[in-house]
Amino acid sequence: KKNPLRAAAEKAASAVLGSSGPEDGVPGKPAAVSPPLQEPTAAQEPLPPKPDQSGPETVSPTGQPTGADPARMAQSGAYLTTAQGARLPDTDHSLKAGPRGPVLLQDHHLREKITHFDHERIPERVVHARGAAAHGVFRGYGTAAKLSKAAFLAKDAETPVFVRFSTVLGSRGSADTVRDTRGFATKFYTEEGVFDLVGNNIPVFFIQDAIKFPDAIHAGKPHPDREIPQAQSAHDTFWDFVTLHTEATHHTLWNMSDRGIPRSYRMMEGFGVHTFRLVDAAGATTLVKFHWKPKLGVHSLVWEEAQIAAGVDPDFHRRDLADAIEAGAFPEWELGVQTFPDTEDQTFEGIDLLDATKIVPEELAPVQPIGLMTLNANPSNYFAETEQVAFHTGHLVPGIDVTDDPLLAGRMFSYLDTQISRLGGPNFGQLPINRTHAPVNDMLRDGMHQTAVHRGVAPYRPNSLDGGCPFLAGEDTGAFVEVPAAVAASRKAREKPASFDDHYSQPRLFWLSMTPVEREHIVAAYTFELGKCYEQAIKERALAVLARIDSRLCEEVAAGLGLPAPGPDSHLTDPEPSQALSQLGGVWPLDGRIIGIVADEAADLDGVRAVRQAVLDAGMVPLVIAPAGGKLDADGDPVTVQRTFATARSVEFDAIVLAGAPGPGGDAAGARDAKAGDNTGTAAQAVTDPRALLLVNEAFRHGKALGAWAGGDSVLAPAGVPADAPGVVIADTGAAVLEALSELLGAHRVWERFTPQI
Ligand code: HDD
């Protein structure tokens, strides 16, 4: 019986060599002029996957379990060894000539330990250095199967993924909550090879041509003389660049909107930005834009909150992602596509699909869901996984191809190039986190950090020594074959198309699509950022750009800067607003929301226990905040304190509940009497502690829901919170408070508390 692998290999080999004509093999390949050379066709099974990097088998002299979960232990094996496996008697004392004598050069363990430590760091990413990541799974809905032959998009196909979120400008140790674009890069380990969707949380980009990327990043990064400011766009060089390259106007406006300060990585949209090309089994193509839609909705911080968080918890987003996953609140996103006919001009409704500074409003091309991604596991080791993961827009699988977007073309070069220096050579694809789950049978050899032990003598093809392997695949045997898309006959030129010239109509569309409160945030952001610039000429130029978006926006920012607003632009159009661009208006799941419960020893602790449980039952996270740490009611049914007045800051919580005092039989009236009379009520300490008052006041100013029961509300007035303000719930029991708060939380914030003047 004929070996099927051999038959496929023979077919592919003969197609490539041209012996049976173009119709059998690669489309459009001309027939060979000379008779083809005969290539050996004795196929072999592909080589096994490259060697794994896992640690050595556990070596235990006694065979006794240590009690720790082996999968979570830092080391395997009982004895500390050198890198060569020699067991060590001591790792705390250098080898010396006597206890007080000189250290001996002979001490190999000392030198090995310090040398390795000296080289523990690798260069951080030149952009997107600060990030956090998680493992998960993607399940195809099958709805894209008619557009793309990619196997991972088939119905119910499950594919492991690794996702890294990031900021762009800051260094690896910078704060999470700075105003910036967020990276959203997904690695799909499909059975046909790795597919990377390397996107952002903003659907447009600063520039239209990759050749400007170094300039854009030089302008956004800290000034080269003093290396400040860190992780900020609020400085002269950034605004100099974006006002001189006005194609950046659209992206800059998104950055100045609430999208620039997400509440959580779990609450961000993701976008592939460029237009991609899907290919079905028959070779038909469709242009698409990829969208990730978070199940929890799209939500943001308010600017003051973001600034405070950058100080009190620089790891705010990193912690949030890891905590949510550890708690089982697995974040989910639906992957969707907007589809466009693959026409020769590659435009849709007059929008140039190759211009990465343009969106296609969802009202014109709805996002059609094609699969669900669930992030369900944290990395075990930050360096090995999150730091060493390497994405590339060129990691494509059959069924997904690129377009001629000039920004994308430059990216196709940049990622591999940067990773060679960042990861120390060309073999980073062998690192466990980067390794494909498909069999690898390449002819790439040697190089720094080569971990594969390749067999055979003929890493070239065709060959007659290694059985002729490997053979070439055709489309029918799963090869990735570029779409033979037509290239417009033209001439070489460093030019851009005229359709790239419109820099303002889509920023105006975005502005007009915002609600008043979102517009006010945008005005405040521009006013803050430009207010941090020193050069008057840059501020004036920025105002001239804003006048081309909207005169009210321009006037408000000008007023904040104390500068005259340029006159209105007579070219302004009035595009139909796109509701999909606004973040307000929905009701969203509460998974993983954090509820702070302020209580003390004198509080209604039964009520506190009940609220805690109700918060947990709703899939949210309760954190008890008390004047000091430890336990409340330690001798009875203890309530653990998670935060103290010293460690709690409002930014950590989505809502705050102020516990009441216990009344006779727990009734509220009795509780109020108890509090008012002898200062034993729960609020007694909070009422006089400025840290607790700040907590409540900030939460109020940031539009967070506040609740109190049985006298807990006595904190409100000293904290400057009117008891009748929107989103302040005072009820008789903790349970009633929580019910009302949950309803408020579905809208993310108490938006009525903001009174925009725009
Ligand atoms: Fe980029 C990293 C996203 C344009 C060059 N980029 C990087 C990451 C994301 C993006 C999410 C971090 C990946 C990770 O977590 O490891 N980049 C984008 C998007 C762009 C974009 C959505 C426009 C649509 N990028 C872009 C251009 C260039 C680069 C035009 C260069 C010409 N990007 C890089 C890079 C990085 C990178 C220098 C730095 C670290 C890395 O690649 O691995 O190659």
Q: What one-character-per-residue DSSP string does 557-610 give? A: HHHHHT-PPPPPPTT---PPP-GGG---S-----TT-EEEEE--TTS-HHHHHH
Structural element, H or E, at residue 530: helix 516-531
For ligand 1, pick from 391, 420, 422, 423 the residue to mutate: most ligand atoms within 8 Å of CB: 391
> For ligand 1, is residue 695 a contact (CB within 6 Å)?
no
pLDDT at 685: 80
For the domain covering 504-581, report its CATH number. 1.20.1370.20
d(CA 520, CA 79): 62
pLDDT at 71: 64
Q: List the residue whose alpha carbon is closest to atom 28 of ligand 1.
A: 411
CB 149 within 8 A of CB 137: no
For ligand 1, pick from 122, 124, 126, 127 the residue to mutate: most ligand atoms within 8 Å of CB: 127
- 421 CA distance to ligand 1 centroid (A)? 15
pLDDT at 68: 53
Q: What residue type is assigned to position 617 of the chain?
A: D
For the domain covering 131-203+262-430, report its CATH number. 2.40.180.10
Closest atom of ligand 1 to CA, residue 125: 40
Determine if the pTM surpasses 0.95: no
Gyration radius from the chain CA atoms? 30
Long-range contacts of 642-649 (CB under 8 A, 24+ apart): 643/596, 645/685, 645/686, 645/689, 645/691, 645/692, 645/695, 646/691, 648/596, 648/623, 648/691, 648/695, 649/308, 649/309, 649/312, 649/313, 649/695, 649/698
Residue with tokens 């038909």: 284
- 200 flagged as catalytic: yes
Burial tier of 87 (Cβ tally within 10 Å: 0-12, 13-18, 19+): exposed
d(CA 525, CA 610): 41
pLDDT at 688: 87
pLDDT at 669: 42
pLDDT at 470: 87
- 213 CA distance to ligand 1 centroid (A)? 10
> For ligand 1, is residue 588 a contact (CB within 6 Å)?
no
> For ligand 1, is residue 164 a contact (CB within 6 Å)?
yes
Q: Which entry of 200, 255, 427, 434 is annotated as an active-site residue?
A: 200
Crossing angle between the packed helical segments 734-745 and 605-617, to the nearest 10 degrees: 30
Domain 594-753 has CATH 3.40.50.880: yes
Alpha helix (H) residue ranges in 702-755? 734-745
Structural element, H or E, at residue 621: strand 621-626
Q: Which of these, 414, 386, 412, 510, lies nearest to 217 by C-alpha position?
A: 414
Residue with tokens 């007080």: 100
Domain residue extents for the chain: 1-46, 131-203+262-430, 504-581, 594-753
CB 264 within 8 A of CB 320: yes
pLDDT at 675: 43
- Parts of the chain with a pLDDT under 70: 1-32, 39-73, 76, 664-683
Q: Is the peptide bond before 229 cis (omega within 30 degrees of 0)?
A: yes
d(CA 524, CA 301): 14
pLDDT at 49: 43
Q: Which of these, 599, 707, 716, 614, lies nearest to 648 by C-alpha position?
A: 599
Q: Which entry of 109, 128, 250, 521 is annotated as an active-site residue?
A: 128
Closest atom of ligand 1 to CA, residue 133: 15
- 15 CA distance to ligand 1 centroid (A)? 37
Q: List the residue whose alpha carbon is closest to atom 23 of ligand 1.
A: 205
pLDDT at 139: 98
Q: What residue type is assigned to position 134 of the chain?
A: A
CB 592 within 8 A of CB 563: no
- 255 flagged as catalytic: no
